[in-house]
Structure 1
């Protein structure tokens, strides 16, 4: 039976990729120290989707939530389960997750980031998940109280109410994301302190993240999503095609112009940040870092993707097509390219079919 299980539930775009990379890159050393990361990063993602009964989940994957929980329960030491999508679970789903860990001491960790950086991050993630709404429309929806998914899935106060209320107050943590300019390893040191990971146990590579797209690049992807119609509707097909061949291969590699909330909304963002801080001050949990980190400190005028004209987007679209042609050429030159794979599979299938036929003929001859 696991002694303690730490559930790192998000939110997205709070340095979770960096923290998870450190954890998985050092999983052997952690295991030797009595700390288990069950399965793999992909297993945690599949289990999260299963727990949430997400419409885009793959129904035939091996790693369900129950299977991951079973793996966690069988470990005699501490366990870490980390996926930023867990925070979006409903209260009932969160209760199921905690209950599935039986008698283990469950700890819940949520991370918080200032809203000035969070608003554009959330919208970008939604577009990279196949959304087609404009940035300005998203901001107006938040201002008008019509974007509950943002507050539910991307902010710590609501995540902690759904998950944190299921465990004792001393087992709830809010880790604040350091402001720009802070030491690069500070976020990891905050998480490591919560998880009980000794200093020096994990080797820290350069912090990595899920790079943001520029204004033109994310607007191009948004328009591609609209043009796709009902093609690649689920998460895995979209990731295998659009993410692999457009986002990861080309758009992420471009030096795009950053985008963000305009200064005309600066006062409103500050008000929302203060409200969020007040909620967290009133919520009984351990603050790892400083709630001041949730106050925006660097607020500069930024371009909105909505402001781009057709000529700018056309230029980026042409350059993207050129990049995709280079990507396709690289794939075609690889010895393990798609064409070779198809040919190999075809030959194997032919040989297998021939073998079956030969065995059937032999069996027929032997029958009286």
Structure 2
């Protein structure tokens, strides 16, 4: 029986899809954008016979991959992880749809044994592996920023000095960077468990291209119509500017690793970083010119290796060669005034977020107090409340409009005259 007929038979018997696509990253190659678009349009994709698991009540892909690799959050447990790979596999193998898509960049970190288990989990389906790749110049600065978001304290210079030194590849931060970005080794791992003809390389378009280009390339491999994905994603992993990144790095230094991974993710990565990404900075940062030499050499080696291996390609390998970027800044040239401004913005935004969430939580208690007060309040009390609210509103109008300010001045003058007369009468009356 041929592989395709086995897949078809398996689908008829078990509901397994004919094809399972494993999008394994790489990190910092538009994976968050693609995943968020797919999450927002899960029903539209499903209507095209493609299962993208992870909706309400369904297994979470990220937890499943953590389970596959035995990962757990630093300093904290998470009961949602254990057993989640098998739950995800069961959901895919019983989906009854033509195809299934799992997109999780941590799959790029799989060992040979973990990759074998991942592929063998879908025995009735043909497994296709998708690798998205981006030029190392943009990846390097983006990866450093991501390290900072994830509780690291390396300066840009310490980071780049490490990743360009072959003798330091076994220690961080170089170790983590090349684990995630050595596309040749990553493809070797997966080529050992699927034929090279089923390992698809998609290049990320150059800076300035529409995100729709990457989505279109990805859709052409998986087999869905990108124009049908009309729902906007709720959130994207936006870039934080030069000053804001340095503020986060210094906050990490002050925290000194006291937060576990889930705490840090909640407060810094998922709260503070998106807030600071909303700030408008004149220019984004990019790879400094002095780093172009070594990183271009490494990129050329990567391009040559991918050409020799002949993987199915969507895009253009020339897009993986770094190019100088004009009008941008070094990652580490924030000035002290800029850092102060970003710090104050961060403090203000966090204060507003904390106050707003506290006030929302407080509302049920306030409502209960108000209900009890309403039962006992007399007419005079209610009248005093109305008068006070009217006075406060008048004061607010006076702060905004000259006419109201003039009226407020007259009211205050009358109040002063009344106070003076009352004091005079009090002094003249016999004690």
Does residue 50 (structure 1) correspond to residue 67 (structure 2)? The answer is yes
Task: Give the drift of 1:131.
Answer: 1.1
- Which residue of 1 is the match for residue 183 of structure 2? 156
Which 5+ residue runs of structure 2 have no aligned equivalent?
1-15, 169-173, 368-431
- Which residue of 2 is the match for residue 253 of structure 1? 278
The structure with the largest alpha-carbon Rg is 2
For 2:195 and 2:290, locate their aligned partners in 1 and report how far apart those are by CA, in whole Å.
41
Q: Deviation digits for residues 282-307 of structure 1, max 9, x if unmatched?
A: 22310111101111234337533434
Does residue 175 (structure 1) correspond to residue 216 (structure 2)? The answer is no
Residue 227 of structure 1 aligns to a residue in which SS? helix
For 1:31 and 1:310, locate their aligned partners in 2 and report how far apart those are by CA, in whole Å.
51
For 1:108 and 1:4, locate their aligned partners in 2 and report how far apart those are by CA, in whole Å.
10
- Which residue of 2 is the match for residue 348 of structure 1? none
Residue 124 of structure 1 aligns to a residue in which SS? helix
Answer yes or no: is the 8 Å Cα contact 1:156–1:174 preserved in 2.
no
Task: Give the drift of 1:135.
Answer: 1.0
- 1:28 pairs with one of 43, 57, 63: 43
For 1:258 and 1:133, locate their aligned partners in 2 and report how far apart those are by CA, in whole Å.
19
For 2:47 and 2:155, locate their aligned partners in 1 and report how far apart those are by CA, in whole Å.
48
Task: Give the drift of 1:20.
Answer: 1.7
For 2:258 and 2:364, locate their aligned partners in 1 and report how far apart those are by CA, in whole Å.
24
For 2:365 and 2:126, locate their aligned partners in 1 and report how far apart those are by CA, in whole Å.
49
- Which residue of 2 is the match for residue 269 of structure 1? 295
- Which residue of 2 is the match for residue 223 of structure 1? 250
For 1:149 and 1:143, locate their aligned partners in 2 and report how far apart those are by CA, in whole Å.
13
- Which residue of 2 is the match for residue 195 of structure 1? 222
Q: Deviation digits for residues 153-185 of structure 1, max 9, x if unmatched?
A: 134323222223310121110000111343442
For 1:114 and 1:159, locate their aligned partners in 2 and report how far apart those are by CA, in whole Å.
16
Answer yes or no: is the 8 Å Cα contact 1:263–1:300 preserved in 2.
no
Answer yes or no: is the 8 Å Cα contact 2:287–2:330 preserved in 1.
yes
Q: Deviation digits for residues 257-278 of structure 1, max 9, x if unmatched?
A: 4222211122222212111101
For 2:224 and 2:101, locate their aligned partners in 1 and report how far apart those are by CA, in whole Å.
11
Q: Which has the higher contact order (CA 8 A, sep 6+)?
A: 1
Higher alpha-carbon deviation: 19-28 or 51-60: 51-60
Q: Deviation digits for residues 330-362 of structure 1, max 9, x if unmatched?
A: 32343xx3x458999xxxxxxxxxxxxxxxxxx
- Which residue of 2 is the match for residue 39 of structure 1? 54
- Which residue of 2 is the match for residue 89 of structure 1? 110
- Which residue of 2 is the match for residue 115 of structure 1? 136
For 2:321 and 2:23, locate their aligned partners in 1 and report how far apart those are by CA, in whole Å.
23
- Which residue of 1 is the match for residue 95 of structure 2? 75
Change (3 A) 1:320 1:37: same
Residue 131 of structure 1 aligns to a residue in which SS? coil
Change (3 A) 1:183 1:323: closer
Q: Deviation digits for residues 25-56 of structure 1, max 9, x if unmatched?
A: 22213223321112349801111222222241
**TM-score normalised by structure 1 residue count:** 0.84
- 1:281 pairs with one of 307, 310, 316: 307
Matched pairs, number? 339
Does residue 129 (structure 1) correspond to residue 150 (structure 2)? The answer is yes
RMSD: 2.6
Task: Give the drift of 1:232.
Answer: 1.8
Runs of 4+ in 1 over 4 A off after TM superposition: 204-208, 339-344
Change (3 A) 1:224 1:183: closer
Task: Give the drift of 1:141.
Answer: 0.6
Residue 6 of structure 1 aligns to a residue in which SS? strand
Does residue 61 (structure 1) correspond to residue 88 (structure 2)? The answer is no
For 1:327 and 1:231, locate their aligned partners in 2 and report how far apart those are by CA, in whole Å.
22
**TM-score normalised by structure 2 residue count:** 0.72
Name whichever structure is richer in helix by fraction.
2
Higher alpha-carbon deviation: 6-15 or 295-304: 295-304
Answer yes or no: is the 8 Å Cα contact 2:148–2:249 preserved in 1.
yes
For 1:290 and 1:342, locate their aligned partners in 2 and report how far apart those are by CA, in whole Å.
60
